[in-house]
Amino acid sequence: MGDQNNLIPGPSPRVLEKLVVPKRILLGPGPSLVDPQVLEAMACPLVGHLDPFFLQLMDEIQESLRYTFQTRNRLTLPISGTGTAAMETSVVNMVEPGDRVLVCVNGYFGSRIAEMAARHGGDVRTLQRRWGEVFTPTQIQEAVDEFSPKVVAIVQAETSTGALQSIEEITPIVHAAGGILVVDAVTSLGGVPLRVDEWDIDVCYSGTQKCLGCPPGLGPITLGPRAEEVLHQRKTPVSAFYFDLSLLSKYWGTERMYHHTAPITANYALREGLRLVAEEGLESRWSRHRRNAEKLWDGLEALGLRCHVEKPHRLPTLTTVVVPPGIDDLQVRRRLLEEYAIEIAGGLGELKGKVWRIGLMGYSSREENVDLLLDALKNLLNK
């Protein structure tokens, strides 16, 4: 045993105080509030990631994800990572060097998909719309005809703008041209209608920290038959080992082949969150999110505030509110947090300093939260 007196000098150890976390009402773009039943599930004892109990839990998670995605896709699983990890998983598995990729960009997260595709060697072209607007089938058709992409990527629920993109009219256009469609559903899965099989979506991914009412840390993803065929016919290996779905499918499939140590507690949370989705029922859950969003929109209008996105294309789970002239964006958000323990967010990218982003997702989407926020905004704006 070495002489402890010869240890390298360093800072004196400091014993931290027991963790005390302030209570917040999370009404921003994520994470959203976590259902108490999900928090209770996270306190369960750990088991090994190949324990028979956990293997059974994996099967239950996959079955529940298929219901939530509305799909029968075999390759449906949670990526160990946030929604951004699921985004990159979609890109690295579908895109090989030189592949043509068309990314529809009308906000921050469309731009992120484009950057990832370029980093992984894709020949990327972007179709641009003003932040807060959505794409028409005609615009998609013209871009596909001109570029002939292998992959088309689009965001259903753009978290940076609060715009809701229609998907079902786009898939036939992409498939008729021989391409596959990748859909970002990070802010929509479990909160607004999403029907992977009925809409014939090839790849769809999300995150757990928004409408599913779980903590961040997992990124659900599902691949349809066309996407699986693309994966199996690759000429080059997937450029990221950790996100290689051909390997991950062997861990989540019948082989149960070791790939990585899955985050046990995060999967407990997801399993419980998905149970609550099924218990409420998707149709009822979609209706709840819509009902509370409309209550918020009406209340904002009564306060003289204007939403950034026109109502026909407005996202029920995430609302962008135009900051009124003469109002300090940051000051209002800071006072909401300090005086009311309510968190909302500011704008991203082009909308920084111009909008507030209000999320009503999962367990956060409750009528009492809408009332609390509207009352707080009324008091602050009057002052």
Model pLDDT for residues 43-54, shown as the tens digit of each residue: 999 999 999 999
Extract the runs of DSSP E, i.e. beta strands, from the chain: 25-26, 75-80, 100-105, 123-128, 151-155, 157-158, 163-164, 180-184, 203-205, 218-223, 318-322, 342-343, 345-346, 355-359
Where are the chain's structural domains?
Answer: 25-31+282-382, 36-278
Q: Is the pLDDT of residue 374 over 90?
A: yes
Say what the pLDDT of residue 6 is. Answer: 65
Q: Is the pLDDT of residue 4 over 80?
A: no
- Pairing type for strands 355-359 and 345-346 reads antiparallel
Say what the pLDDT of residue 383 is. Answer: 78
- Strand arrangement, sheet containing 318-322: 318-322, 355-359, 345-346
Across the range 166-190, mean pLDDT stands at 98
Q: Residue 138 is encoded by which pair of tokens?
A: 């005609």
Q: Which CATH code is given to the segment(s) 36-278?
A: 3.40.640.10
Q: Is the pLDDT of residue 248 over 60?
A: yes
Q: Residue 73 is encoded by which pair of tokens?
A: 């896709």
β-bridge partners, 302? none
Across the range 253-276, mean pLDDT stands at 96
Amino acid type, 282: L
Ramachandran region of residue 74, left (φ > 0), alpha (ψ -120 to 50) or beta?
alpha
* Predicted TM-score of the model (pTM): 0.95
11 pLDDT tier (thresholds 50, 70, 90): confident
Extract the runs of DSSP E, i.e. beta strands, from 201-267: 203-205, 218-223
14 pLDDT tier (thresholds 50, 70, 90): confident
Q: What is the DSSP string of 76-130?
A: EEEEES-HHHHHHHHHHHH--TT-EEEEEESSHHHHHHHHHHHHTT-EEEEEE--
CA distances to 29, 167, 206, 283 from 70, rounded to whole Å, are 24, 14, 13, 11
Closest CA to 154 of 207, 191, 209, 117: 117
Burial classification of residue 295, based on how many CB atoms lie within 10 Å of its CB (0-12 exposed, 13-18 middle, 19 or more buried): middle
Q: What is the dihedral of CA 221, 223, 227, 229, to 10 degrees?
A: 130
208 close to 216: Cβ distance less than 8 angstroms: yes
Say what the pLDDT of residue 154 is. Answer: 98
Report the greatest alpha carbon distance in the chain.
Answer: 75
Say what the pLDDT of residue 213 is. Answer: 96
CATH class of residue range 25-31+282-382: alpha beta
111 pLDDT tier (thresholds 50, 70, 90): very high
